[in-house]
Chains A and B, each alone.
Chain A
Amino acid sequence: MIWQAFWAVAQRDLLLAWRRKSEGLSAVFFFVVVAALFPLGIGPEMNVLRNIAPGVLWVGALLSSMLALQRLFEADYRDGTLEQMALSPVAMPLLVGAKMLAHWLVSGLPLVLLAPVLGLQFDLSGDALVTLTLALLLGTPILSLVGGVGAALTLGVRGGGVLLSLLVLPLFVPVLVFGAGAVEAQVSGLGVQAHLSILMAMLLPAVFFGPLASAFALRIALE
Chain B
Amino acid sequence: MLTISNISCVRGHKPLFTPLSFSLQAGQALHLEGDNGVGKTSLLRIICGLSPADSGEVLWNGHALTRQHPEVVEAFRATLCYMGHNLSLKEDLTPIENLLFEAQVAGRSLSHEKGMDALRKMGLNSRAHLPLRVLSQGQKRRTALARLSVTAAKLWVLDEPFVALDAHSLDNLRALLANHVQQGGMLLFTSHQAVELLQTNGHAIEVQPIRLVAA
Contact = CB atoms under 8 A, between A and B. Distances in A.
A2 B89 CA distance: 21
B106 interface: yes
Contacts of B84: 80, 83
Most B C-beta atoms less than 10 A away, residue of A9, A79, A85, A88: A88
Contact of A2 (B48, B91, B107): B107
Interface in A1-50: 1-2, 4-5, 7-9, 11-12, 15-16, 19-20
A222 interface: yes
Interface residues of A, number: 28
A222 B88 CA distance: 14
A80 B87 contact: yes
A25 to B, nearest CB: 16
A15 B97 CA distance: 10
Interface residues of B, number: 31
Contact of A84 (B51, B74, B75, B105): B105
B106 A79 contact: no
Given A4-B109, A5-B107, A12-B101, A87 B82 contact: yes
A170 interface: no
Interface of A: 1-2, 4-5, 7-9, 11-12, 15-16, 19-20, 78-81, 83-90, 95, 222-223
Given A16-B92, A79-B88, A87-B77, 11 more contacts: A4-B109, A5-B104, A8-B101, A12-B90, A19-B92, A78-B86, A81-B90, A84-B82, A88-B105, A222-B50, A223-B51
- The 9 A-B pairs of least Cβ separation, nearest first, read A8-B104, A80-B86, A80-B88, A89-B78, A89-B77, A19-B92, A12-B101, A90-B107, A1-B107
